[in-house]
């Protein structure tokens, strides 16, 4: 029985999946000269930026992609650890995500199940964590999800038209995830189970995030736990990096790595993009495909519209999120562990059982004070789960990454109506692409693709208009 079939595990991840080094034409570094002749510049080489670049190149435009990091992928990163490919960003896709499904089919890539079924499940109780029978725990959590999302068929009859229910959804969008939890006729222990998921998606605090994004995902997956359970545990054959690389190869765009952008100027008849190294690139249009949390680090002229300013100032992407992989030893069997909201490690799962008896475990933290790179801190936090010895660590703290400043996108209360559709619109010769700007799958690769494709259409309208 695959990990992907277990519903409460689906609450631990969101956001964009892993990337690899590009094989497209690329260069590193800057100089002080100005380069002209491009039709479009794409700032950021994550899934949104690569999707936009591919579509623009397919339309015959000359495209330059500027990526701040020395690799493509954005908030995504894959490595080899203990002989296994691991993703230090999110790595799973659902067959309920139509754009991802179409892209995988385009490249002949199958979704394959990953992970192991746990022998032991630990879940939070009012007295700490306790062990539960896996089958019983999974079935009960599926039931709790149904209670939590009750009514979505009424207020999200079409999850791809999120504003369709009008005033009903507007009122619901004022609720925090904590507000919704407090409404439920369930036990305090049940609320602890659910709050592990809600606090994870909201960035560590259920009072921060709105109820409506999670409810929309539930609706888009078929309004049931079976669909929700597909959010985790299914990865593209060959890895997410292979998927992204295929898209990038298709784009055949010029890619410059290690080239952070510091200024974007709409000069009326063209745009000028300045890099940290002082180089200036000119084009007819630009696609800004970096997270909203980064917008405040770029000098835009003229300034951004109010809706974009709000998204940046209020951190549309959760401000802290860290993912870590551990090589561990200990007589604990395969494990699935979730904790109460506020614990430094909110989830920990066995993902691979190695030939020598060690395990590769995947974990998540939403605690800004917790250092996921510190093996001693991890060892202390994991004592809650049993005799686990941490042998080695691979981790990324996305909240402290200078080119992310946070994890996946997740709206705050009131932002559904405040942001849509305005945040999706171009501003002069500037278009915007990021998974947080999507109509239905904010925080997922699906949303990044939607946003990248839309930005490409907007650029083409501008260039051809």
**pLDDT mean across residues, the chain:** 91
pLDDT of residue 368: 92
H or E element, residue 418:
helix 415-419
**pLDDT (tens digit, 9 = 90+) per residue, 387-418?**
999 999 999 999 999 999 999 999 999 999 99
- Give the closest residue to 169 by CA, choosing from 179, 159, 177, 181: 159
Sign of torsion over alpha carbons 76, 319, 428, 453:
positive
Q: Is 179 inside any structural domain?
A: no
Mean pLDDT of 195-214: 97
Which of helix, strand or coil describes residue 40?
Answer: strand
* Nearest-angstrom CA–CA distance, 99 and 440: 12
pLDDT tens figures, 231-256: 988 888 877 888 898 999 999 999 99
**140/192 Cα distance (integer angstroms):** 13
pLDDT at 357: 93
In a domain, 459, yes or no: yes
Tokens 């999706």 belong to residue: 424
Indicate yes or no: pTM above 0.75.
Answer: yes
The angle formed by the CA atoms of residues 159, 18 and 236, to the nearest 5 degrees, is: 70
Which of 383, 461, 404, 403 is CA-nearest to residue 428?
461
Residue 218 inside a domain? The answer is no
Which residue from 261, 251, 172 is spatially nearest to 213, judged by alpha carbons? Answer: 172
Number of other CB atoms surrounding residue 464 within 10 Å: 8
Q: Write the pLDDT tens digit of every residue in 134-149.
A: 999 999 999 999 999 9
- Mean pLDDT, residues 309-332: 94
Confidence of residue 465 (pLDDT cuts 50, 70, 90): confident
Other beta carbons less than 10 A from residue 123's beta carbon: 21
Whether 144 and 225 have beta carbons less than 8 Å apart is answered as: no
DSSP string for 251-265: H--EEEES--EEEEE
Task: Reply yes or no on whether the pLDDT at 12 is more than 50.
Answer: no
Categorize the per-residue pLDDT at 91 as very low, low, confident or very high, splitting at 50, 70 and 90: confident
Strand 299-301 relative to strand 261-266, pairing: parallel
**Domain for residue 270, yes or no?**
yes
275 belongs to a structural domain: yes
Report whether pLDDT(24) > 60.
no
Residue 464: its pLDDT value, please?
Answer: 87
Percent of the chain scoring above 70 in pLDDT = 93
Q: Which two tokens stand for residue 180?
A: 């919704």
- Residue range of the domain that includes 438: 26-75+237-317+408-464
- pLDDT at position 374: 94
3-class SS at 84?
strand
**Range 281-309 average pLDDT:** 96
Once rounded to an integer, what is the mean pLDDT over residues 416-430? 96
Helix, strand, coil content of the chain in percent (nearest 5): 35, 25, 40
pLDDT attached to residue 33: 59
- Tell me the three state secondary structure of residue 325: strand
Express as a percent the part of the chain with pLDDT over 90.
84
Domain of 63, CATH number, reads 3.50.50.60
**CA–CA dist 231, 227 (Å, integer):** 8
Quick check: is 80 in a domain?
Answer: no
31 versus 183: which is more confidently predicted?
Answer: 183
Residue 395 maps to a domain? no
pLDDT of amino acid 90:
67
What's the number of domains the chain is made of? 1
Place of tokens 């409404």: 183
284 within a domain of the structure (yes/no):
yes
């Amino acid at each position: 029985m695959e990990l992907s079939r277990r519903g409460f595990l689906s609450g631990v991840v969101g956001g964009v999946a892993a990337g690899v080094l590009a094989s497209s034409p690329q260069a590193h570094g800057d100089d002080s000269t100005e380069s002209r002749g491009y039709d479009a510049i794409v700032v950021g080489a994550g899934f949104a930026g690569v999707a936009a670049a591919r579509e623009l190149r397919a339309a015959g435009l000359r495209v330059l992609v500027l990526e701040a990091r020395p690799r493509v992928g954005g908030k995504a990163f894959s490595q080899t650890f203990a002989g296994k490919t691991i993703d230090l960003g999110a790595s799973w896709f659902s067959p309920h995500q139509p754009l991802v499904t179409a892209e995988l089919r385009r490249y002949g890539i199958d979704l394959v199940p990953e992970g192991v079924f746990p022998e032991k499940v630990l879940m939070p109780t009012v007295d700490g964590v306790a062990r539960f029978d896996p089958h019983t725990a999974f079935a009960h959590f599926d039931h709790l999800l149904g209670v939590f999302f009750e009514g979505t068929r009424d207020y999200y009859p079409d999850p791809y038209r999120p504003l369709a229910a009008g005033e009903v959804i507007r009122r619901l969008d004022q609720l925090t995830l904590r507000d919704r939890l407090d409404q439920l006729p369930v036990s305090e222990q049940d609320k602890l189970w659910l709050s592990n998921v809600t606090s994870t998606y909201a960035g560590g605090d259920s009072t921060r995030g709105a109820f409506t994004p999670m409810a929309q995902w539930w609706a888009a997956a078929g309004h049931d736990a079976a669909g929700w359970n597909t959010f985790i545990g299914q990865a593209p054959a060959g890895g997410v990096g292979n998927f992204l690389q295929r898209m990038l190869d298709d784009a055949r765009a010029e890619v410059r790595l290690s080239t952070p952008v510091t200024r974007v100027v709409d000069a009326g008849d063209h745009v000028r993009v300045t890099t940290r190294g002082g180089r200036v690139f000119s084009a007819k249009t630009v696609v800004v495909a970096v997270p909203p949390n980064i917008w405040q680090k770029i000098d835009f002229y003229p300034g951004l519209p109010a809706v974009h300013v709000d998204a940046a100032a209020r951190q549309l992407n959760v401000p802290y999120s860290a993912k870590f992989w551990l090589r561990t030893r200990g007589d604990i069997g395969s494990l699935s562990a979730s904790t109460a909201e506020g614990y430094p490690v909110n989830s920990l799962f066995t993902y691979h059982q190695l030939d020598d008896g060690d395990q590769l475990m995947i974990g998540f933290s939403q605690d800004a004070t917790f250092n996921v790179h510190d093996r001693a801190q991890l060892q202390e936090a994991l004592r809650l789960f049993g005799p686990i010895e941490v042998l080695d660590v691979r981790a990324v703290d996305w909240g402290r990454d200078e080119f992310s400043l946070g994890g996946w996108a997740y709206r705050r209360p009131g932002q559904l109506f405040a942001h849509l559709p305005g945040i999706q619109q171009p501003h002069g010769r500037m278009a915007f692409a990021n998974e947080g700007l999507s109509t239905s799958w904010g925080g997922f690769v699906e949303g990044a693709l939607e946003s990248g494709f839309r930005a490409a259409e907007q650029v083409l309208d501008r260039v051809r208009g």
